[in-house]
Amino acid sequence: MSLSLEEGTELCRLLADPSRCRLLLLLESYELSVAELTDITGLAQSRVSTHLSRLKRAGLVQDKRVGSAALYSASGNGGAAGELWAHLRGQIGDGQTRIDLERAEEAVRARKHGQTWAESVAGRMELHYSPGRTWEATARALIGLMQLGDVLDLGSGDGVLTELIAGHARSVTCVDVSATVVAAARKRLAAFANVSVEEGDMHALPFADARFDHVFAMHALPYSRHPDRMLSEAQRVLRPGGRLVVATLGAHHHEEAMRAYDHVNLGISPDKLRKLMAAAGFTVESCRISSRETRAPYFEVVTALARKPE
């Protein structure tokens, strides 16, 4: 995003204020009212309101009505302001920040008084922990509805996905390019008689045409310099009517994260992924951003489902 000198200077002024930074750090973790923010930070209520107004205009903060109160939270957007804040917030960590977060937790607990747990988190339940209520538990419950047939797990890593689905498939074949990772997967999956793990390149698969009913590419695309080839290979080894399931990082600009995790690209947009799948011969059933992380740098996940024509 291109900014004028004046716009850049104003943006720096916005985030140069320590009080505004304190508020942003709090609102990344909790939804809080002006009164709660005043109690937590010790700032005057008028100052808190003024800071929130400026942060909201910049797109960094959003609010919603809950009964008679307005609860504020970090928006995770903000364009250039959001990008600058994402770089800045990773460098901030001091005693005041920890104290603020402890006070915020106390404020949220106090708010719960007189309500059931579900009532206290209604409308934002997915952001809060409760015993046994995890995405993994939900996935394991729902996976029982699936009958997957013969499955290929591309870029399978050490076999976490295969361990989850092996009991609901006729067979699962794992493929990964790393000998070290393949060895770890074989150890993890040794108890499954219907699972095989092979070292290989997902861009040149060592399998015959039309061998599998499902191909999973779960976070394999960040490790592909040629996603068109990978998708074409997935289409080739699928049986007519077979399905491709993709989960991958959305397009982003965080090169440091890319290097830290050995990714070879900066993610992919839903539109580009849809076009690549169609070019590979798939009928695309869905392709969209399905989730967005709540903490900076707010990575998005794209999920897609496509079918090989009959």
- Amino acid 280: pLDDT: 97
Which domains are delineated in the chain?
5-123 (1.10.10.10), 135-307 (3.40.50.150)
Cβ-contact 207, 234 below 8 angstroms: no
Cβ-contact 185, 197 below 8 angstroms: yes
Q: Give pLDDT tens digits for 262-294.
A: 999 999 999 999 999 999 999 999 999 998 886
Sign of CA dihedral 228, 231, 233, 235: negative
Cβ-contact 235, 209 below 8 angstroms: no
- Distance between CA atoms of 33 and 216, rounded to whole angstroms? 43
* Position 81 pLDDT exceeds 90: no
Helices (H) and strands (E) in the chain, counts: 13, 9
pLDDT band at 95 (very low <50, low <70, confident <90, very high): confident
Amino acid at 253: H
Q: Give pLDDT tens digits for 146-182.
A: 889 999 999 999 999 999 999 999 999 999 999 999 9
The answer to whether the predicted template modeling score (pTM) of the entire model surpasses 0.75 is no
Q: Give pLDDT tens digits for 171-215.
A: 999 999 999 999 999 999 999 999 999 999 999 999 999 999 999
* Position 124 pLDDT exceeds 70: no
* Position 253 pLDDT exceeds 70: yes
pLDDT band at 144 (very low <50, low <70, confident <90, very high): confident
List CB contacts of 76: < 8 A, sequence separation 6 or more.
Answer: 82, 292, 294, 296, 298
**Of the candidates 203, 200, 154, which has an alpha carbon nearest to the alpha carbon of residue 179?**
200
